[in-house]
Amino acid sequence: MNLRKTLYTVIDMGTGPVRDRHEKLLINKVNGVACSLIVLSLIFGLLFYILSGHLLILIATTVESLLFVLIIALNYYKKHALAALGLQLVLNAAILYFGLLLGKAIDGLWLALFLIVTSFLFLKTAAARRISLTGGIISLVLIELNKFYPVVTPFPFTPAVLLVVHYSAIAVILFITVLTLMHYLQYNKLLVTAVKGQTRELENANRSLKVFMRELTHEIRTPLNAIYSIAQLKLMDAPDSPTNEHLHYACHNVLSIINNVQDRSKIEAGKPDEIKREAFDVRSWIQEVCNIYRYLARTKAVQIEVETGEQLPHLMYEDKATLTKIANNIIGNAIKFSPKNTTVTVSMHQLNGQWHLAVADQGAGISREKVATLFDEFTRERISFAEGTGLGLNIAQKLAFQLQGHIQVFSEQGKGTMFIICLPVHECKKIIVADGHPEHVDNHIFHGRKVLLVEDDHMSQQYLHKYLHSKGFEVILAEDGMEGLYRATCDHFDIIISDIGLPRMEGRELLARLKANKYLAHVPVIITSADTAIKEDLLQAGAAGCLIKPVDFKQLHKVLKDTIIQAILAPEHRA
């Protein structure tokens, strides 16, 4: 037991201050092989001396053993690279010395195998390996030449002794080679284990990050819901107020960042939002998008000009929500990187079966090297007066791919940058009412209709109630799912608006209960939620609409209008 403990102590010499496990294993490998060679040198040196009577063999093996002790000492004094190279040089010298003295008793093929294996397993740098392999090749050539043109006279052995020496040398070389390979396999196993461990840690970290980002964006939406509602109501009351415009834009900007993070998570998970194309007036749409950014542009003394080609169809059939996300990122970046007293030009035209949405600024421009990586994730372009978030362009490009399109970039330093969103033309031939019409035109269909608002957050209650009341609705409040179900059963409602996360009974269960009741199944139910991932499930469960918090009043207006018009056109479904 003491001998084994001593052996492990010798093998571990010089590993104390080393933190890297791979480096420590290499030191163990050098010390272990040196110990093995000390023992083998003394045993076989004594054996060959007894068999042959040549004292030089015993002296040489003793000197060799002392040199291997020196190798261990070098590791002890933290000269690890020198110890590894020294081990290889001593092996080369020993092979040359004994190869010349033992002559035909040593097979050059086994020596070559041994030198190649040890050169690649002991030495880490290419220079050290070249030195070792070069020395080994020279030694082998000298040994083989000496067999045919003797300069050093080999020891004369009897046939029996020659046979013992020959197979003993092969056994030693095989033993050291196998021992070295075992160390290598152990090192390789350790490396694989470390890589697997790091992979698991990265996967866990990535999973935790995704959960954290999902929960964080979900939690941010709750307070943002109240702030965004306030901003929208204030803008409705005083649309020309710079303060109200600033508040509305700031909320919209935060919401865009949250949406970018969620879109990235969905795309990474391979579950992007399903493409839902609808007919809309493309000219009214781009004016509406640009109007959101006009306040930001005015604060920087930047003008936004909109140009549309005559050949471009008025009505397009496309995923309006996805298209809006792309345009928001591109137009927002253009304004952000524009210096004062310049113009951002937003133009649309049709060319070669595609329609192009081009956004050009008069900024500093982007170098050719940076353009090549502009759509990479978290790429940031810094200039003196603005900084990109590093995520918007990457998301915009991926969303454009989903719409079977792409984004091109043309930039000249000192003159500006142009982004062109290229998409296939899906022209809509039917006649529709454009979304750009003022909301008050539709308010008459809301007047006197009764809506049940099921919401436990008092801030959301207050501002949704104020908005719905301003449109002519009679609003009844319920603060949890059980109360909502009770009020829906006891009274008649044209529409029910319910939050998804409610006490006592969640919105999902409330929806299921309402749809299961034959007297209430006809009542349209609009669900509000901060979780974008459940939208499709709720629509399949029978919801008339699903609005993501913070609720955009324009989207709410559209859903309310569509829902009531559908109810008017299908009176047979009413109780």
49: tokens are 């001396």
pLDDT value at residue 131: 76
CA proximity to 284, closest of 264, 312, 322: 312
231 assigned to some structural domain: no
8 Å CB contact between 71 and 89: no
Verify that 402 and 280 share a domain, yes or no.
yes
34, HSE (Cβ side, Cα atoms, 13 Å): 32
Partner residues linked to 359 by β-bridges: 346, 419
Verify that 196 and 51 share a domain, yes or no.
yes
Verify that 173 and 310 share a domain, yes or no.
no
Distance CA 300, CA 41 (A): 83
**Roughly what angle, to the nearest 10 degrees, separates helices 80-102 and 55-76?**
170
User: Can you give the residue range of the structural domain that contains 568?
Assistant: 439-573
Banded pLDDT at 541 (limits 50, 70, 90): very high
Verify that 192 and 288 share a domain, yes or no.
no
Verify that 378 and 448 share a domain, yes or no.
no
Of 18 and 381, more confident: 18
Tens of pLDDT, residue by residue over 176-219, are: 667 666 666 666 676 677 677 777 777 777 677 666 666 666 66
The pTM score is: 0.49
Region 222-232: what's the mean pLDDT?
71
162 assigned to some structural domain: yes
Residue 133 amino acid letter: L
Percent of the chain with pLDDT over 90: 20
pLDDT value at residue 179: 65
Where b means 16+ CB within 10 Å and e means fewer, 61-89 reads bebbbebbeebbebbbeeebeebbbbbbb
Verify that 411 and 457 share a domain, yes or no.
no
φ, ψ (nearest 5 deg) of residue 180: -65, -40
Banded pLDDT at 440 (limits 50, 70, 90): very low
Verify that 294 and 360 share a domain, yes or no.
yes
255 assigned to some structural domain: no
Region 544-550: what's the mean pLDDT?
87
Provide the domain count of the chain. Answer: 3
Tens of pLDDT, residue by residue over 121-153, are: 666 677 777 777 777 778 778 877 887 778 887
Distance CA 419, CA 327 (A): 10
476: tokens are 């009844």
Cross-sheet strand order for the sheet of 416-424: 302-308, 342-351, 354-360, 416-424, 406-412
